[in-house]
Structure 1
Amino acid sequence: MTTTDALIAAPASAPDPVPSRRIARVALDVHLPHLDRFFDYSVPEAMADEAVVGARVRARFAGRAVDGFIVELPCDSEVDKLTPLSKVVSAEPVLDAHQVRLIRAVADHYAGTFADVMRLAVPPRHAATESAEQHPWPRPDLSSIPAGALDQAPGGDRFLTGLRQGRHLRAHWQVPPRFVTDGSGAVDWRRGFVQACAAALEGGHSALVLVPDVRDVRRVRDALTGSLGEGCVAELHSELGPAARYRNYLAASRGVARVLVGTRGAAYAPLHDLGLICLWDDGDDLHAEPRAPYPHARDVAALRASIQPCALLLASHARSSEVERWVESGWLAALACPPGLVRHGCALVRVAADSDEALRRDPLASAVRVPRRAFETIRAGLASGPVLVQVPRSGYLEALSCGDCRAPVRCRTCNGPVRADRMPDGGRRLSCRWCGRVMTSWQCPRCGSSRLRAPMVGSRRTAEELGRAFPGVLLVDSSGQTPRESVGDTPALVVATPGAEPVASAGYAAAVLLDAALLLDRADLRAGEEALRRWLAAVALVRPASEGGSVCLVGPAWDASVQALVRLDPAGFAARELAQRAEAGFPPAVALCAVEGAEGVVTGFARLADWPEQAEVLGRVELPPDEPGADRLWRLLVRAPRAAGGALAGAAKKALAVRSARKEPGAVRVRIDPVELS
């Protein structure tokens, strides 16, 4: 027998294998850019059963105990000697592998850190809720799904069929701005989301619905539960208490909740076998996260649909430039009716001074705030129901200027803007919006006049003026501070700011959109796009023209946004807007990075950044102060072709990491493709 044969015949003589060490790869709650990576720790034997992927742990890092999550249990590590985990805080797996990939992708896309996005994705732990018995979660009932919404849109039926088959489709649904309700009170887009979620559930998948605010969350939840059954829909938003929020999050992570509706933070919810993400009104700025790295729910949803993967349905009355870019590139399919067909089922939209004949009848129509046609629209609407008056700003007199030379009224102490507040005795009080100082008298330093005029009038002053013009009519003032949910079908004059319009039970008989020029004249890249979005939302609350519904806009009839509203053609406006931005080199046609901070900080950041070869550096420019005494900030803009967007974000992230490693003083704010650029 050879030596080799002897070795094969006697395996028992071989030494016992050395047991492999247990390793946990941990995402620590460390926000320093140069430490944006995972760290390996050894798992003590006593923690072996509890140290699972997604568990909350505590570990020693830089001499202190730091919280984190286990993201992986690798077989080996590049580090020979590992520090053991200090503690497994909770063995409940609340962060799955799909979330880890999504958080990493979002952090890289927005030049942020994993820890920055992780705090947005996972709510704080509530120990009592975690240890309590799981709340029973009924299965959705798919026997009574409404019809007549998404299934009637061009291509909508094919999209729903694809969802039932489990296909990963992507589409934008252009919802006509018409007032239609069913017995459950669900309007077109909410009924369409119910249809889409039901189709995903039929295919054996879960569904996620993202909306801008809590009011929409409750309305969508009611529409879903009205069709799928009580108690089967989870909701996730910041207004929930800690226990309720964590309970719903656990219901998703444990796989018992199959349908979840929430605001922007719910985009990371750990739903099992996710088949569909629905997002309403991506143009609403509430979808943009105000905390670093400032991700937008629309882009998070798009990244998740590509990474997980799953179907994606964006829906809105308007169409943002970002969605238009995706539609033109073929990444999104457009589910939209022709504008002529849309106009047939919606309210009639007119401009107060839209023709020479209108100006002949009312020569001051283009100069006064509430012209004759607007009064006629209100008077005719009050004969059959409530009338909506949309005003851009809340308050009384939000800005003042000299009545003779039109110079802005400024505070004598801090040079801040001055407003007039209504007093209980019927008088007015002038106060500074920056320092709060009350002015007993004012005289224009330019011309010496003491007369005042108000180029910007708030909703309260508007309600007061219209109340005098229409005595005996019920007045309702609804704004961001005091919003109203709904009004009845009796005649009433409802003055509301955008987003705070109450819903009329039978639809508004008419609507008047005031101060359109103020919305369009804002020094903002998205002024026209945002104005059209707000106006279409108001049109959607008015009865169709076949039932006498009409809308009157007071503003420049020649403006492209106004013309798009009259034609009810947001897709055409979005295409034109995108083409103009491509020509001018503005996002989303190009990738953009905005760097803000003190002058020296911005200058030092620019030296550290290794921008892509195609990048173009614009600035530095000094920004106006937000309030008196604030530090002066400077801004640097860097733009690059869209194909180099990843390299642009990578260069910004690398520069942040170098600053962090060197412990350079001063704060710097980096935003990729900022929503607001004024």
Structure 2
Amino acid sequence: MGERFARVVVDSRLPQLDRLFEYRVPPGLEGVEPGVRVRVPLRGDRMTAGYVVEVADARAWEGEVADIEKLVSPVPVLRPEVWALARAVADRAAGGAADVLRVAIPGRQARVEKAWLESRAGDAAPPPPPPPLPEVLETAAVLPGLVEARRRIALECAGGVAAVETAEGTAWIGRWAIALAALARQALERGEQAILVVPDHREQRQLRLALEAVVGVERVVELDARQKNPERYRGFLRCIDDEPVAIIGPRSAVYAPAARLGLLAVWEDGDPLLAEPLSPWVHARDAALVRQGQSGCALVIAGHARSTDAERLVELGHLEHERLGAQRVRVLPAALADDGRRVPASAFAAARDALTSRPVLVQVGRPGHAPGLRCADCGARGRCTACGGPLGQRSRGAAPACRLCGRLAAGWRCPSCDGQRLVPVGRGSSRIAEELGRAFPGVPVVVADGAHERLTVDARPRIVVATRGAEPVADGGYGAVVLLDGDALLAHEGLRVAEEAVRQWAAARALAAEGATVVLAGVVGPAAAALTGDTTVPFAKAELAERRQLRFPPAVRTASVVGTPDAVAEALEALEGSEHLDVLGPVAVASDDRARPGDEVQRAIVRFAYGDGPRVAGIVRARVLTAASRPRRPGAPARLRIRLDDPEPFDGL
């Protein structure tokens, strides 16, 4: 065998290393093939990890070529489709492919790898046939032929819960989960894989139970950072096998290896949890759109409420609109009492009627006893003396503490009047639970929030007070749903406040039983009309039309350009000449903690059309490379930082 050369992507966050490096494959490393993990020299004796992307018999680099130092594992964990996706989304976001691969590929587990290699050496048993469809699906139209026709749809799912039989017994889950499981079955019956992405573990649990009932336990693979490392890696290796399996997980699951991908679905694409918090900050929906374009699979962007991003794709003709199911509930807008704090009388009446046979859900905005505290003498907001964060009270009688850093407010004094007494502002979940317990004596009241997690409740009458996103699923559905603190939610500043409110309300409404009453307290206007109507699509259309007029996302793409004044000016100068591009700023912003006093940091917001995305991403990435090559003092922040599709500048609009 003659000489072979490998092109390797190294695991580095440095933008100047975001390219393929060529190495010689030395004798004795015949196992070096595309996708395997290797260790390679980078500078002198410094070694770094990487993945082999290509292997060739001829060298492309004319200079000196170093040898691969070590073959870490013979398992091809970097599949071609994953590398193509990582490279494409990184280029779209002006980021590095290695950052995407760090999210896509879990850490190596040697024992799991050894067992996997041994299992592949033997004869693999064929997977068992899928179980019969649950009765709930036999009478529901679940878009037959969607996977075969490779359709791309924006699916608005009606609410409601249904029972499925699992190995652990009967479980109640959302009908949306059963619908997505039925679509995944279409792919598996064709010998293909399905990837289904959800925001968090609550939806993931429901979807897993639905898939186990619809396609069978043996055909379900979970990829979740909450799993133990060996368990997650074992599931990842199952995806490499190209079995017809349904892969479910949070945002990182969109990068799961699947060479024969038949279906890619994203549930509740408007949920902020699907936005990757690490560089290059690629939203799971955007990664799914890129992957669908590469693989040609069927694509489903689904939710109880239509996001403006999905509606833009529908209006462009990239997605088809579909609606699935119908939920018969009565939604009643209710005015608050004069003090603006009481539960409306109509909510008490609806809860009283429902508690004769079913549980009642009360959705609130904040956990704890008192979300805020103020000075009893002058009314000034109570703030932490260490970090300036707001003070709150987790439970009745608990010591006031900062909601940001957790420091107790012992010996607090008001900086305005020197007062020493704090009084509560607003009502958290535990305080509302206490009030409802007094209003309905003898009725059990339970709290579901970040500190008191509940995934399910049984069908016995009780009051469940839950913060938004923490609502448990009730067996048979809730007899009534009361949505509080909506006025406070809409009072927040932010581009997507109303859209997020409609999404959270629709998610709570979906947990109601057939014929239940849903009370929306203290909210009027388009957001309230979106919940009381049969569909949220008109609301999404109106929101999108308004943002088009103002050139706000998602009508346009944006890029945040942050850095020293000279670096920001050079980046903006390089972007000049685009027909559909405009710049907001630059303006001075708070400097990095590592910046010296007096160092000036500026930020500019660049707005551009989607068609100009590749050009803008290429230009700003080049400017980042130029800035990174210039000397700077040790420990200083980067001279220039770029983030495409950054939502932060619009949170205060």
**TM-score normalized by structure 2?**
0.89
Shift of 1:58: 0.9
Partner of 1:518: 488
SS of 2:299's equivalent in the other structure is strand
Q: Secondary structure at the match of 1:397?
A: coil
Decide whether the 8 Å contact of 2:193 with 2:243 is kept in 1.
Answer: no
AA aligned opposite 1:657: L
Task: Please say if 1:58 is aligned against 2:43.
Answer: no
* Structure-2 residue corresponding to 1:445: 416
**Pairing 1:161–2:145 present:** yes
2:617 to 649, 655, 659: 649
Question: Partners in 1 of 2:622 and 2:245 — Cα distance?
Answer: 39
Match of 1:196 among 183, 188, 193: 183
Query: In the alignment, which residue of structure 2 is the partner of 1:14?
Result: none
> What is the Cα deviation at residue 75 of structure 1?
4.0
Q: Paired residue for 1:605, among 555, 568, 591?
A: 568
Aligned mate of 2:83, from 100, 114, 119: 100
- The aligned amino acid for 2:342 is R
Instruction: Provide the C-alpha distance between the structure 1 equivalents of 2:428 and 2:502, rounded to a whole number of angstroms.
Output: 20
2:644 is aligned with what amino acid?
Answer: I
- CA 1:450 to 1:29, structure 2 compared with 1: closer, same or farther past 3 Å? closer
How far apart are 1:283 and its partner, in Å? 1.1
For 2:256 and 2:443, the matched residues in 1 are separated by: 47
Equivalent residues in 2 for 1:64-75, closer than 5 Å: 64-75=46-57
* 2:375–2:419 Cα contact (<8 Å) kept: no
User: Secondary structure at 1:45's aligned position in 2?
Assistant: coil
- 1:658 pairs with 2:629: no
In structure 2, runs of 5+ residues without a counterpart are none
What's the CA shift string for 1:202-233, capped at 9, x where partnerless? 22311111111123223212211222223221
**Contact between 2:81 and 2:258, CA under 8 Å: does it hold in 1?**
no
Describe the shift of the 1:99–1:444 C-alpha distance in structure 2 as closer, same or farther (beyond 3 A). closer
- In 2, the alpha carbon distance for the partners of 1:261 and 1:277 equals 10
Whole-angstrom distance in 1 between the partners of 2:469 and 2:616: 35
Counterpart of 2:7 (choices 19, 25, 35) is 25
CA separation of 1:385 and 1:309: change in aligned 2, threshold 3 A: same
| 3-state SS in 2 of match to 1:457 | coil
* Structure 1 counterpart of 2:350, one-letter code: T
Which residue is equivalent to 2:332? 350
Shift of 1:573: 0.7
Q: 1:134 aligns with which of 108, 116, 119?
A: 119
The amino acid that maps onto 1:605 is: V
Q: Distance in 1 between matches of 2:420 and 2:23?
A: 74
Match of 1:82 among 46, 65, 77: 65
Pair 1:179–1:414, CA change in 2 (3 A) = closer
Superposition TM-score, scaled by structure 1 size:
0.86
Contact 2:373–2:422 (8 Å) recurs in 1: no
Residue of structure 1 in register with 2:161 after alignment: 179
In the alignment, the residues of structure 2 paired with residue 180 and residue 114 of structure 1 have an alpha-carbon distance, to the nearest angstrom, of: 42
User: Match of 2:22?
Assistant: 40
Task: Please give the alpha-carbon distance, in whole angstroms, between the structure 1 residues aligned to 2:66 and 2:381.
Answer: 64
**Within-5 A mapping of 1:268-279:** 268-279=255-266
**Mapped contact 2:377–2:419 kept (Cα < 8 A):** no
- In 2, the alpha carbon distance for the partners of 1:404 and 1:311 equals 62
Q: Distance between the aligned counterparts of 1:508 and 1:514, measured in 2?
A: 16
Q: What are the equivalent positions in structure 2 for 1:135-154 lying under 5 Å apart? A: 139=127, 141-142=129-130, 144-146=132-134, 152=140
Q: How much has 1:572 moved relative to structure 2?
A: 0.8
Q: Relative to 1, partners in 2 of residues 1:192 and 1:151: Cα closer, same or farther, differing over 3 Å? A: farther
Q: Displacement, 1:255?
A: 2.1
1:10 match: none
Listed as ranges, the matches of 1:200-279 within 5 Å are 200-256=187-243, 258-279=245-266
> Match for residue 607 of structure 2?
639
Distance 1:110 1:186, change over 3 A: same
The Cα RMSD (Å) is 2.9
Q: Summarize the Cα distance change of 1:147–1:220 in structure 2 as closer, same or farther, 3 Å threshold.
A: same
How many correspondences in the alignment? 627
> How far has the Cα of 1:634 moved from its partner?
5.4
Is the CA contact 2:174–2:206 (under 8 Å) kept in the aligned structure 1? no
Instruction: Report SS of the residue matched to 1:384.
Output: coil
Aligned partner of residue 564 in structure 2, secondary structure: helix
Equivalent-residue separation in structure 2 for 1:451 and 1:127 (angstroms): 56
Give the structure 2 partner of residue 409 of structure 1. 382
Check whether the contact 1:141–1:227 (CA below 8 A) recurs between aligned residues: no
Report the counterpart of residue 6 of structure 1 in structure 2: none
Number of the residue aligned with 1:398? 371
d(CA) in 2 for partners of 1:378 and 1:226?
A: 33
Cα deviation, 1:392-434, whole Å, max 9, x if unaligned, reads 11112111346787543345666442223435xxx35333445
Q: CA deviation at 1:336?
A: 1.8
One-letter amino acid of the structure 1 residue matched with residue 43 of structure 2:
A
1:594 to 560, 566, 571: 560
In the alignment, the residues of structure 2 paired with residue 286 and residue 191 of structure 1 have an alpha-carbon distance, to the nearest angstrom, of 22
Q: Give the percent of matched residue pairs that are identical in Structure 1 and Structure 2.
A: 37
Instruction: For 1:392, give the aligned amino acid.
Output: G
Question: Judging changes above 3 Å, is the alpha-carbon distance between structure 1 residues 62 and 444 closer, same or farther for their aligned structure 2 residues?
Answer: closer
1:589 Cα shift?
A: 0.3
Query: Partner residue of 1:473?
Result: 443
| 2:298 maps to amino acid | A
Cα deviation 1:27-66 (Å, max 9, x = unaligned): 111221122110111111211x201110111111112111
1:336 is paired with a residue of what secondary structure? strand
Distance in 2, matches of 1:140 and 1:322, equals 39
CA gap 1:404/1:171 in 2 versus in 1, 3 angstroms: farther
1:316 deviates by 0.5
**Does the 8 Å CA contact 2:270/2:307 hold for their aligned counterparts?**
yes
Aligned partner of 2:312 in structure 1 is 325
One of 518, 535, 549 as aligned partner of 1:551? 518
**Where do 1:559-570 residues align within 5 Å?**
559-570=525-536
| Mapped partners of 1:221, 1:118: distance in 2 | 25
Q: Which amino acid aligns with 2:130?
A: L
1:379 alignment counterpart: 352
Q: Do 2:164 and 2:213's aligned partners in 1 also have CA atoms closer than 8 Å?
A: no
Contact 1:483/1:501 (8 A) holds in 2: no
8 A contact 2:182–2:214 mirrored in 1: no
Distance of 1:143 and 1:448 partners within structure 2: 68
**d(CA) in 2 for partners of 1:43, 1:23:** 6
> Which residue does the alignment assign to 2:399?
429
Instruction: Tell me what 1:672 maps to.
Output: 644
Larger Rg: 1
Q: Distance in 2 between matches of 1:68 and 1:441?
A: 53
Are residues 1:118 and 2:101 paired? yes
2:393 is aligned to 420
CA shift, 1:533, in A, is 0.5
Equivalent in the alignment of 1:486? 456
Counterpart contact for 2:10–2:48, Cα < 8 Å: yes
The 2-side partners of 1:579 and 1:235 are apart by: 38
Change (3 A) 1:54 1:224: same
Distance 1:129 1:238 in 2: 17
Structure-2 change in CA distance of 1:412 and 1:139 (3 Å) = closer
- 1:605–1:655 Cα contact (<8 Å) kept: no
Bigger drift between 183-192 and 66-75 goes to: 183-192
Q: Bigger CA drift: 376-385 or 272-281?
A: 376-385
Q: What's the counterpart of residue 502 of structure 2?
A: 532
What letter matches 1:51 in structure 2?
V
1:277 Cα deviation after fit: 0.8
Q: Taking structure 1 as reference, are residues 447 and 85 closer, same or farther at Cα in structure 2, changes over 3 Å only?
A: closer
Contact 1:352 1:365 (8 Å CA) reproduced: no
